[in-house]
Structure 1
Protein backbone atom coordinates (compact mmCIF):
# COMPACT_ATOMS: atom_id res chain seq x y z
CA UNK A 1 0.00 0.00 0.00
CA UNK A 2 1.26 3.48 -0.83
CA UNK A 3 1.23 6.62 1.27
CA UNK A 4 -1.44 7.93 -1.10
CA UNK A 5 -3.65 4.95 -0.22
CA UNK A 6 -3.28 5.69 3.48
CA UNK A 7 -4.07 9.35 2.95
CA UNK A 8 -7.23 8.40 1.05
CA UNK A 9 -8.26 5.97 3.80
CA UNK A 10 -7.94 8.74 6.36
CA UNK A 11 -10.09 11.00 4.23
CA UNK A 12 -12.70 8.28 3.74
CA UNK A 13 -12.81 7.35 7.45
CA UNK A 14 -12.78 10.86 8.86
CA UNK A 15 -15.97 11.39 10.83
CA UNK A 16 -16.77 7.69 10.98
CA UNK A 17 -17.54 6.10 14.33
CA UNK A 18 -14.93 3.92 16.09
CA UNK A 19 -17.13 0.91 15.35
CA UNK A 20 -17.19 1.72 11.64
CA UNK A 21 -13.40 2.20 11.58
CA UNK A 22 -12.79 -1.11 13.35
CA UNK A 23 -15.14 -3.03 11.08
CA UNK A 24 -13.59 -1.44 7.99
CA UNK A 25 -10.13 -2.44 9.19
CA UNK A 26 -11.08 -6.01 10.06
CA UNK A 27 -12.80 -6.46 6.71
CA UNK A 28 -9.83 -5.11 4.78
CA UNK A 29 -6.97 -6.77 6.66
CA UNK A 30 -8.61 -9.72 8.42
CA UNK A 31 -9.40 -10.28 12.08
CA UNK A 32 -6.84 -13.08 12.32
CA UNK A 33 -4.06 -10.60 11.50
CA UNK A 34 -5.03 -7.92 14.03
CA UNK A 35 -4.12 -7.16 17.63
CA UNK A 36 -5.11 -4.51 20.15
CA UNK A 37 -2.62 -2.96 22.58
CA UNK A 38 -3.53 -1.59 25.98
CA UNK A 39 -1.81 -0.26 29.09
CA UNK A 40 -4.99 -0.04 31.21
CA UNK A 41 -4.59 3.72 31.44
CA UNK A 42 -7.60 6.04 31.98
CA UNK A 43 -10.53 5.37 29.63
CA UNK A 44 -9.11 2.00 28.54
CA UNK A 45 -12.48 0.36 29.20
CA UNK A 46 -14.05 2.45 26.43
CA UNK A 47 -11.66 1.22 23.75
CA UNK A 48 -11.69 -2.41 24.88
CA UNK A 49 -15.47 -2.49 25.18
CA UNK A 50 -15.95 -1.15 21.65
CA UNK A 51 -13.41 -3.55 20.13
CA UNK A 52 -14.62 -6.67 21.91
CA UNK A 53 -18.25 -5.95 21.08
CA UNK A 54 -17.19 -6.36 17.45
CA UNK A 55 -14.66 -9.17 17.89
CA UNK A 56 -14.56 -10.74 21.38
CA UNK A 57 -11.63 -13.01 20.44
CA UNK A 58 -9.17 -10.42 19.16
CA UNK A 59 -5.81 -10.64 21.01
CA UNK A 60 -5.35 -7.86 23.57
CA UNK A 61 -1.63 -7.20 24.14
CA UNK A 62 -0.58 -5.82 27.51
CA UNK A 63 3.05 -5.07 28.34
CA UNK A 64 3.23 -5.45 32.10
CA UNK A 65 6.58 -3.91 32.98
CA UNK A 66 6.06 -4.63 36.67
CA UNK A 67 5.82 -1.01 37.83
CA UNK A 68 2.09 -0.42 37.61
CA UNK A 69 0.30 0.90 40.65
CA UNK A 70 -1.92 -1.43 42.65
CA UNK A 71 -5.04 0.32 41.35
CA UNK A 72 -4.00 -0.36 37.75
CA UNK A 73 -3.50 -4.07 38.39
CA UNK A 74 -6.92 -4.21 40.06
CA UNK A 75 -8.44 -2.28 37.14
CA UNK A 76 -6.89 -4.66 34.62
CA UNK A 77 -8.30 -7.63 36.51
CA UNK A 78 -11.74 -6.04 36.67
CA UNK A 79 -11.79 -5.31 32.92
CA UNK A 80 -10.49 -8.80 32.16
CA UNK A 81 -13.38 -10.34 34.05
CA UNK A 82 -15.98 -7.89 32.78
CA UNK A 83 -15.11 -8.23 29.08
CA UNK A 84 -13.55 -11.71 29.09
CA UNK A 85 -10.54 -10.43 27.19
CA UNK A 86 -8.27 -12.61 25.10
CA UNK A 87 -5.43 -11.05 27.06
CA UNK A 88 -1.86 -11.67 25.95
CA UNK A 89 0.50 -10.50 28.71
CA UNK A 90 4.17 -9.92 27.91
CA UNK A 91 6.74 -8.89 30.51
CA UNK A 92 10.38 -7.81 30.32
CA UNK A 93 13.12 -10.40 30.62
CA UNK A 94 14.08 -8.65 33.88
CA UNK A 95 11.68 -8.43 36.79
CA UNK A 96 11.17 -5.00 38.35
CA UNK A 97 13.08 -6.09 41.46
CA UNK A 98 16.02 -7.38 39.43
CA UNK A 99 16.15 -4.22 37.30
CA UNK A 100 16.18 -2.04 40.40
CA UNK A 101 18.97 -4.11 41.94
CA UNK A 102 21.11 -3.90 38.79
CA UNK A 103 20.36 -0.36 37.60
CA UNK A 104 19.04 1.51 40.62
CA UNK A 105 15.73 3.29 41.25
CA UNK A 106 13.34 4.54 38.59
CA UNK A 107 14.63 7.46 36.48
CA UNK A 108 12.28 10.05 37.94
CA UNK A 109 14.34 13.05 36.75
CA UNK A 110 12.24 14.22 33.82
CA UNK A 111 15.16 16.26 32.46
CA UNK A 112 17.11 13.06 31.86
CA UNK A 113 15.52 11.97 28.60
CA UNK A 114 18.25 9.44 27.93
CA UNK A 115 17.60 7.59 31.19
CA UNK A 116 13.86 7.48 30.49
CA UNK A 117 14.48 6.04 27.04
CA UNK A 118 16.89 3.44 28.36
CA UNK A 119 14.31 2.37 30.93
CA UNK A 120 11.60 2.16 28.27
CA UNK A 121 13.86 0.17 25.95
CA UNK A 122 14.56 -2.41 28.64
CA UNK A 123 11.16 -2.69 30.29
CA UNK A 124 8.64 -1.83 27.55
CA UNK A 125 10.08 -1.81 24.04
CA UNK A 126 11.86 -5.15 24.39
CA UNK A 127 8.75 -7.14 25.44
CA UNK A 128 6.57 -5.27 22.94
CA UNK A 129 8.98 -6.01 20.11
CA UNK A 130 9.11 -9.67 21.16
CA UNK A 131 5.31 -9.81 21.22
CA UNK A 132 5.03 -8.36 17.74
CA UNK A 133 7.53 -10.91 16.38
CA UNK A 134 5.64 -13.80 17.97
CA UNK A 135 2.07 -12.65 17.25
CA UNK A 136 2.94 -11.41 13.73
CA UNK A 137 0.06 -8.97 13.26
CA UNK A 138 -0.51 -6.89 10.16
CA UNK A 139 -2.79 -4.47 12.01
CA UNK A 140 -2.22 -2.85 15.39
CA UNK A 141 -5.25 -1.16 16.99
CA UNK A 142 -4.42 1.46 19.61
CA UNK A 143 -6.52 3.68 21.86
CA UNK A 144 -4.43 6.81 21.38
CA UNK A 145 -6.18 10.14 20.86
CA UNK A 146 -5.00 13.46 19.47
CA UNK A 147 -5.83 15.36 22.67
CA UNK A 148 -3.48 13.30 24.86
CA UNK A 149 -0.28 15.22 24.14
CA UNK A 150 1.33 17.48 21.55
CA UNK A 151 3.22 14.65 19.83
CA UNK A 152 0.02 12.77 19.01
CA UNK A 153 -1.59 15.76 17.30
CA UNK A 154 0.48 14.93 14.23
CA UNK A 155 -1.07 11.45 13.86
CA UNK A 156 -4.26 10.41 12.13
CA UNK A 157 -6.65 7.47 12.17
CA UNK A 158 -4.41 5.22 10.05
CA UNK A 159 -0.68 5.13 9.47
CA UNK A 160 1.99 2.59 8.59
CA UNK A 161 4.31 1.98 11.50
CA UNK A 162 7.79 1.46 10.06
CA UNK A 163 9.24 0.39 13.41
CA UNK A 164 6.99 -2.64 13.80
CA UNK A 165 5.97 -2.98 10.13
CA UNK A 166 2.22 -2.91 10.71
CA UNK A 167 -0.73 -0.71 9.90
CA UNK A 168 -1.58 1.25 13.01
CA UNK A 169 -5.28 2.04 13.47
CA UNK A 170 -6.49 4.59 16.03
CA UNK A 171 -10.31 4.28 16.03
CA UNK A 172 -10.82 6.79 18.88
CA UNK A 173 -8.30 9.30 17.59
CA UNK A 174 -10.72 12.24 17.33
CA UNK A 175 -12.76 11.52 20.47
CA UNK A 176 -12.70 14.02 23.32
CA UNK A 177 -12.54 13.34 27.06
CA UNK A 178 -16.21 14.27 27.23
CA UNK A 179 -17.12 11.58 24.69
CA UNK A 180 -15.03 9.03 26.56
CA UNK A 181 -16.66 9.89 29.88
CA UNK A 182 -20.13 9.71 28.37
CA UNK A 183 -19.40 6.26 26.96
CA UNK A 184 -18.23 5.04 30.38
CA UNK A 185 -21.45 6.26 31.98
CA UNK A 186 -23.70 4.91 29.22
CA UNK A 187 -22.21 1.42 29.46
CA UNK A 188 -21.55 1.43 33.20
CA UNK A 189 -17.83 0.85 32.76
CA UNK A 190 -15.13 1.50 35.38
CA UNK A 191 -12.26 3.94 34.97
CA UNK A 192 -8.69 4.13 36.29
CA UNK A 193 -7.43 7.53 37.39
CA UNK A 194 -4.31 6.55 39.37
CA UNK A 195 -2.36 5.34 36.34
CA UNK A 196 1.35 6.11 36.04
CA UNK A 197 3.82 4.89 33.43
CA UNK A 198 7.49 5.27 34.47
CA UNK A 199 8.51 4.60 30.87
CA UNK A 200 7.03 8.01 30.00
CA UNK A 201 7.65 10.04 33.14
CA UNK A 202 4.61 12.21 32.46
CA UNK A 203 1.70 12.40 30.01
CA UNK A 204 3.50 14.83 27.71
CA UNK A 205 6.18 12.27 26.89
CA UNK A 206 6.10 9.04 24.92
CA UNK A 207 7.34 5.64 26.03
CA UNK A 208 8.66 4.96 22.55
CA UNK A 209 5.96 2.75 21.09
CA UNK A 210 4.63 5.61 18.98
CA UNK A 211 7.93 7.32 18.15
CA UNK A 212 10.68 6.90 15.58
CA UNK A 213 13.43 6.85 18.22
CA UNK A 214 12.30 3.37 19.29
CA UNK A 215 14.08 1.89 16.26
CA UNK A 216 17.46 2.76 17.76
CA UNK A 217 16.77 0.51 20.73
CA UNK A 218 14.76 -2.26 19.10
CA UNK A 219 17.18 -3.07 16.31
CA UNK A 220 20.19 -3.32 18.59
CA UNK A 221 18.52 -5.94 20.79
Structure 2
Protein backbone atom coordinates (compact mmCIF):
# COMPACT_ATOMS: atom_id res chain seq x y z
CA UNK A 1 0.00 0.00 0.00
CA UNK A 2 1.12 3.54 -0.74
CA UNK A 3 1.59 5.01 2.75
CA UNK A 4 0.63 8.69 2.72
CA UNK A 5 2.05 9.23 6.20
CA UNK A 6 5.51 8.10 5.09
CA UNK A 7 5.50 9.87 1.75
CA UNK A 8 7.15 13.22 1.09
CA UNK A 9 5.51 16.02 -0.84
CA UNK A 10 7.89 15.34 -3.72
CA UNK A 11 6.83 11.68 -3.83
CA UNK A 12 3.17 12.69 -3.82
CA UNK A 13 3.73 15.10 -6.71
CA UNK A 14 5.59 12.40 -8.62
CA UNK A 15 2.78 9.89 -8.07
CA UNK A 16 0.21 12.44 -9.24
CA UNK A 17 2.24 13.13 -12.37
CA UNK A 18 2.58 9.43 -13.11
CA UNK A 19 -1.16 8.89 -12.74
CA UNK A 20 -1.92 11.96 -14.85
CA UNK A 21 0.38 10.78 -17.65
CA UNK A 22 -1.32 7.39 -17.64
CA UNK A 23 -4.87 8.71 -17.51
CA UNK A 24 -4.84 12.11 -19.21
CA UNK A 25 -6.41 10.92 -22.48
CA UNK A 26 -8.80 8.39 -20.93
CA UNK A 27 -12.57 8.65 -20.77
CA UNK A 28 -14.09 9.48 -17.35
CA UNK A 29 -15.23 5.94 -16.58
CA UNK A 30 -11.80 4.61 -17.43
CA UNK A 31 -10.22 7.20 -15.16
CA UNK A 32 -12.56 6.32 -12.32
CA UNK A 33 -12.08 2.58 -12.71
CA UNK A 34 -8.30 3.03 -12.58
CA UNK A 35 -8.32 5.47 -9.67
CA UNK A 36 -10.80 3.48 -7.58
CA UNK A 37 -8.57 0.44 -8.07
CA UNK A 38 -5.58 2.35 -6.67
CA UNK A 39 -4.56 1.94 -3.04
CA UNK A 40 -4.57 5.24 -1.15
CA UNK A 41 -3.81 5.39 2.55
CA UNK A 42 -7.12 6.46 4.09
CA UNK A 43 -9.08 5.68 0.94
CA UNK A 44 -10.77 7.99 -1.53
CA UNK A 45 -13.85 10.22 -1.38
CA UNK A 46 -15.89 12.14 -3.92
CA UNK A 47 -16.77 15.77 -3.18
CA UNK A 48 -20.02 17.05 -4.68
CA UNK A 49 -21.96 20.32 -4.64
CA UNK A 50 -25.05 18.57 -6.08
CA UNK A 51 -25.15 21.35 -8.65
CA UNK A 52 -26.34 21.32 -12.24
CA UNK A 53 -23.72 18.89 -13.58
CA UNK A 54 -23.03 16.89 -10.43
CA UNK A 55 -25.23 13.93 -11.31
CA UNK A 56 -22.83 12.82 -14.05
CA UNK A 57 -19.83 12.12 -11.80
CA UNK A 58 -22.04 10.77 -9.01
CA UNK A 59 -23.73 8.34 -11.40
CA UNK A 60 -20.39 7.14 -12.77
CA UNK A 61 -18.98 6.59 -9.30
CA UNK A 62 -22.10 4.74 -8.18
CA UNK A 63 -21.87 2.39 -11.18
CA UNK A 64 -18.41 1.33 -10.06
CA UNK A 65 -18.71 1.50 -6.27
CA UNK A 66 -21.79 3.05 -4.59
CA UNK A 67 -20.02 2.81 -1.22
CA UNK A 68 -17.50 5.54 -2.10
CA UNK A 69 -18.09 8.32 0.45
CA UNK A 70 -19.65 11.46 -1.04
CA UNK A 71 -18.75 14.61 0.89
CA UNK A 72 -21.30 17.43 0.75
CA UNK A 73 -20.74 20.92 2.16
CA UNK A 74 -23.97 22.41 3.48
CA UNK A 75 -22.92 26.02 3.82
CA UNK A 76 -26.18 27.18 5.37
CA UNK A 77 -26.68 29.41 2.34
CA UNK A 78 -27.72 26.85 -0.25
CA UNK A 79 -30.92 26.85 -2.27
CA UNK A 80 -33.61 24.58 -0.88
CA UNK A 81 -33.76 23.10 -4.37
CA UNK A 82 -30.14 21.95 -4.04
CA UNK A 83 -30.88 20.12 -0.79
CA UNK A 84 -33.92 18.48 -2.38
CA UNK A 85 -31.83 17.51 -5.43
CA UNK A 86 -29.23 15.92 -3.17
CA UNK A 87 -31.90 13.72 -1.60
CA UNK A 88 -33.38 12.88 -5.00
CA UNK A 89 -30.03 11.79 -6.42
CA UNK A 90 -29.27 9.78 -3.30
CA UNK A 91 -32.34 7.68 -4.00
CA UNK A 92 -32.27 7.53 -7.79
CA UNK A 93 -28.55 6.90 -8.23
CA UNK A 94 -28.15 4.70 -5.16
CA UNK A 95 -25.52 6.64 -3.24
CA UNK A 96 -24.94 4.78 0.01
CA UNK A 97 -22.64 7.09 1.97
CA UNK A 98 -23.32 10.84 1.73
CA UNK A 99 -21.55 12.71 4.51
CA UNK A 100 -22.72 16.25 5.27
CA UNK A 101 -20.38 18.89 6.67
CA UNK A 102 -21.35 22.34 7.91
CA UNK A 103 -19.55 25.50 9.08
CA UNK A 104 -18.22 25.49 12.62
CA UNK A 105 -20.90 26.99 14.87
CA UNK A 106 -18.50 29.06 16.98
CA UNK A 107 -16.63 30.32 13.92
CA UNK A 108 -19.88 31.35 12.27
CA UNK A 109 -21.03 33.18 15.40
CA UNK A 110 -17.74 35.07 15.48
CA UNK A 111 -17.33 35.83 11.78
CA UNK A 112 -20.87 36.09 10.46
CA UNK A 113 -23.50 36.38 13.19
CA UNK A 114 -25.96 38.18 10.86
CA UNK A 115 -25.32 35.92 7.83
CA UNK A 116 -24.35 38.93 5.75
CA UNK A 117 -20.59 38.45 5.33
CA UNK A 118 -21.17 37.41 1.71
CA UNK A 119 -22.07 41.04 0.93
CA UNK A 120 -18.81 42.51 2.22
CA UNK A 121 -16.13 39.80 2.00
CA UNK A 122 -16.93 36.85 -0.24
CA UNK A 123 -13.53 35.24 0.30
CA UNK A 124 -13.93 35.23 4.07
CA UNK A 125 -17.46 33.90 3.74
CA UNK A 126 -16.36 31.05 1.48
CA UNK A 127 -13.42 30.45 3.79
CA UNK A 128 -15.40 29.40 6.84
CA UNK A 129 -18.46 28.06 5.00
CA UNK A 130 -16.65 25.90 2.43
CA UNK A 131 -12.86 25.79 2.65
CA UNK A 132 -12.60 25.01 6.37
CA UNK A 133 -15.41 22.39 6.37
CA UNK A 134 -13.85 20.67 3.35
CA UNK A 135 -10.54 20.50 5.18
CA UNK A 136 -12.28 18.68 8.03
CA UNK A 137 -14.22 16.48 5.61
CA UNK A 138 -11.11 15.32 3.76
CA UNK A 139 -9.10 14.66 6.90
CA UNK A 140 -7.72 11.13 6.71
CA UNK A 141 -8.46 10.51 3.03
CA UNK A 142 -5.56 9.92 0.67
CA UNK A 143 -7.36 11.08 -2.48
CA UNK A 144 -10.52 12.81 -3.64
CA UNK A 145 -12.64 13.17 -6.75
CA UNK A 146 -14.32 16.34 -7.98
CA UNK A 147 -16.31 17.42 -11.03
CA UNK A 148 -14.29 20.30 -12.50
CA UNK A 149 -14.01 20.53 -16.28
CA UNK A 150 -11.71 22.41 -18.64
CA UNK A 151 -14.57 23.82 -20.67
CA UNK A 152 -15.59 25.98 -17.69
CA UNK A 153 -12.59 28.18 -18.51
CA UNK A 154 -10.66 30.60 -16.28
CA UNK A 155 -8.37 28.71 -13.90
CA UNK A 156 -9.97 25.42 -14.99
CA UNK A 157 -8.96 25.64 -18.65
CA UNK A 158 -5.70 23.72 -18.15
CA UNK A 159 -6.84 21.15 -15.58
CA UNK A 160 -4.72 18.03 -15.30
CA UNK A 161 -6.56 14.76 -14.89
CA UNK A 162 -4.68 14.05 -11.65
CA UNK A 163 -2.81 16.48 -9.42
CA UNK A 164 -1.21 16.74 -6.01
CA UNK A 165 -3.32 18.69 -3.53
CA UNK A 166 -1.53 19.31 -0.24
CA UNK A 167 -1.18 15.95 1.53
CA UNK A 168 -3.37 14.02 -0.93
CA UNK A 169 -4.14 13.27 -4.57
CA UNK A 170 -6.94 15.16 -6.36
CA UNK A 171 -8.61 13.66 -9.42
CA UNK A 172 -10.63 15.53 -12.06
CA UNK A 173 -12.25 12.63 -13.99
CA UNK A 174 -14.48 14.90 -16.10
CA UNK A 175 -11.69 17.29 -17.13
CA UNK A 176 -12.07 16.34 -20.81
CA UNK A 177 -15.87 16.56 -20.89
CA UNK A 178 -17.57 19.50 -22.62
CA UNK A 179 -21.14 20.79 -22.38
CA UNK A 180 -22.39 18.42 -25.06
CA UNK A 181 -20.81 15.45 -23.33
CA UNK A 182 -22.59 16.42 -20.10
CA UNK A 183 -25.94 16.86 -21.83
CA UNK A 184 -25.59 13.56 -23.68
CA UNK A 185 -24.80 11.72 -20.48
CA UNK A 186 -27.87 13.15 -18.74
CA UNK A 187 -30.07 12.07 -21.63
CA UNK A 188 -28.61 8.60 -22.18
CA UNK A 189 -28.80 7.73 -18.47
CA UNK A 190 -32.13 9.45 -17.80
CA UNK A 191 -30.69 11.60 -15.02
CA UNK A 192 -32.89 14.27 -13.42
CA UNK A 193 -31.94 17.92 -13.82
CA UNK A 194 -31.32 20.26 -10.93
CA UNK A 195 -34.68 22.03 -10.38
CA UNK A 196 -33.11 25.45 -10.99
CA UNK A 197 -31.38 24.59 -14.25
CA UNK A 198 -34.52 25.03 -16.44
CA UNK A 199 -34.90 28.47 -14.84
CA UNK A 200 -31.59 29.69 -16.26
CA UNK A 201 -29.06 28.70 -13.60
CA UNK A 202 -26.13 26.97 -15.28
CA UNK A 203 -23.88 26.81 -12.20
CA UNK A 204 -25.26 26.83 -8.67
CA UNK A 205 -23.61 27.59 -5.36
CA UNK A 206 -24.81 29.60 -2.38
CA UNK A 207 -28.03 31.50 -2.94
CA UNK A 208 -26.76 35.09 -2.37
CA UNK A 209 -23.84 34.64 -4.77
CA UNK A 210 -25.57 32.77 -7.60
CA UNK A 211 -27.49 34.35 -10.48
CA UNK A 212 -28.92 33.21 -13.78
CA UNK A 213 -26.71 33.17 -16.87
CA UNK A 214 -27.65 34.59 -20.24
CA UNK A 215 -27.30 32.96 -23.63
CA UNK A 216 -23.67 33.08 -24.72
CA UNK A 217 -22.26 33.61 -21.23
CA UNK A 218 -19.71 31.24 -19.72
CA UNK A 219 -21.24 28.45 -17.61
CA UNK A 220 -19.98 29.97 -14.36
CA UNK A 221 -20.74 33.61 -15.21
CA UNK A 222 -23.52 33.66 -12.64
CA UNK A 223 -21.22 32.88 -9.74
CA UNK A 224 -20.12 35.93 -7.72
CA UNK A 225 -21.23 38.12 -10.61
CA UNK A 226 -19.50 41.47 -10.82
CA UNK A 227 -16.87 40.70 -8.17
CA UNK A 228 -14.07 39.26 -10.29
CA UNK A 229 -14.16 36.15 -8.12
CA UNK A 230 -14.28 32.83 -9.99
CA UNK A 231 -13.53 30.20 -7.33
CA UNK A 232 -14.76 29.66 -3.79
CA UNK A 233 -11.28 28.65 -2.62
CA UNK A 234 -11.45 24.91 -2.19
CA UNK A 235 -9.43 24.42 -5.38
CA UNK A 236 -6.93 27.19 -4.66
CA UNK A 237 -3.69 25.95 -3.04
CA UNK A 238 -3.36 27.22 0.52
TM-score, normalised on structure 2? 0.76
Q: 17, 22, 27: which is aligned to 1:7?
A: 17
The Cα of 1:204 is off from its aligned counterpart by: 6.1
Question: In the alignment, does 2:217 pair up with 1:211?
Answer: no
SS of the equivalent of 1:147 reads helix
Deviates more, 1:64-73 or 1:48-57: 64-73
Q: How many residues align?
A: 203
Q: Which has the higher contact order (CA 8 A, sep 6+)?
A: 1
Residue 201 of structure 1 aligns with which residue? 224
Inter-CA distance 2–40: structure 2 relative to 1 (3 Å threshold): closer
TM-score, normalised on structure 1? 0.82
Partners of 1:40 and 1:75 within 8 A in 2: yes
Inter-CA distance 204–184: structure 2 relative to 1 (3 Å threshold): farther
Residue 91 of structure 1 aligns with which residue? 102
Q: 110, 119, 122: which is aligned to 1:116?
A: 122
Equivalent-residue separation in structure 2 for 1:159 and 1:21 (angstroms): 13
Equivalent-residue separation in structure 2 for 1:116 and 1:51 (angstroms): 32
Q: How does 1:129-140 map to 2 (within 5 A)?
A: 129-133=135-139, 136-140=140-144
The Cα of 1:91 is off from its aligned counterpart by: 0.7
Q: How does 1:35-74 map to 2 (within 5 A)?
A: 35-74=45-84
Supply the RMSD in Å over aligned alpha carbons: 2.6
The Cα of 1:196 is off from its aligned counterpart by: 3.1
The Cα of 1:19 is off from its aligned counterpart by: 1.2
- Superposed CA deviations along residues 113-139 of structure 1, whole A, max 9, x for unmatched, are xx1110011111121111122xx1111
Q: 155, 166, 171: which is aligned to 1:151?
A: 155
Partners of 1:159 and 1:168 within 8 A in 2: yes
Q: Structure 2: any 5+ residue segments left out of the alignment?
A: 1-10, 211-222
Partners of 1:149 and 1:204 within 8 A in 2: no
Equivalent-residue separation in structure 1 for 2:115 and 2:46 (angstroms): 32
Residue 105 of structure 1 aligns with which residue? 116
Equivalent-residue separation in structure 2 for 1:100 and 1:139 (angstroms): 30
- Superposed CA deviations along residues 63-93 of structure 1, whole A, max 9, x for unmatched, are 0001111221111111011123210001112
Q: Structure 1: any 5+ residue segments left out of the alignment?
A: 110-114, 216-221
Partners of 1:36 and 1:61 within 8 A in 2: yes
